[in-house]
Each structure stands twice: as C-alpha cells, then as structure tokens.
Amino acid sequence: MTDVIKEDQVLDCSGMLCPMPVVKTSKAMKELQSGQILKMVATDPGAPPDMEAWSRQTGNELLRSMTEGGKFIFYLRKK
C-alpha cells in the first residue's frame, strides 16, 4: 500500500449485520459532495460482496477494499 487514501468521512458499521452497513453507507454518501471519499468499517462477513454490488449499482467508486484486524475496510468515492 504505497498510496494513501485520505477520507473525508468515516462510518463505523462494526457489529451491524446486513443490510445495515449498506443502508448506513447509502445515507452517508448522500451527505458527501461529488468526489469526496467515505471510509466505511464493517465486521459483517457479507459486507465485501454487498459493497461491491452496491458500488456497481449506484455508480459510486469502490477505491479499495481490505481486511484489517478482523474488520473489513472500504474506501468509496462519491460519483
């Protein structure tokens, strides 16, 4: 990881199960300006495929998806 992504907002969805991480992410993204980046943290093992599908469906860009310390971390850029 040589490039650092600077998020504009952080959303912690730890402990939430589907569909709440997607619902909360959708709500948070609506508050951002176009081009801003949301960092979303989740513990739900279903979050990676859910966020990939959500990104495709909404047109918001999934910049990076990774696992760190048992948590799934996503960086999403608002379209």
65 — alpha (psi -120 to 50), left (phi > 0) or beta? Answer: beta
Dist CA 50 CA 14 (whole Å) = 15
Amino acid making up residue 9: Q
Q: Name the catalytic one among 9, 12, 18, 71.
A: 18
> 13 an active-site residue?
no
Which amino acids are annotated catalytic? 18
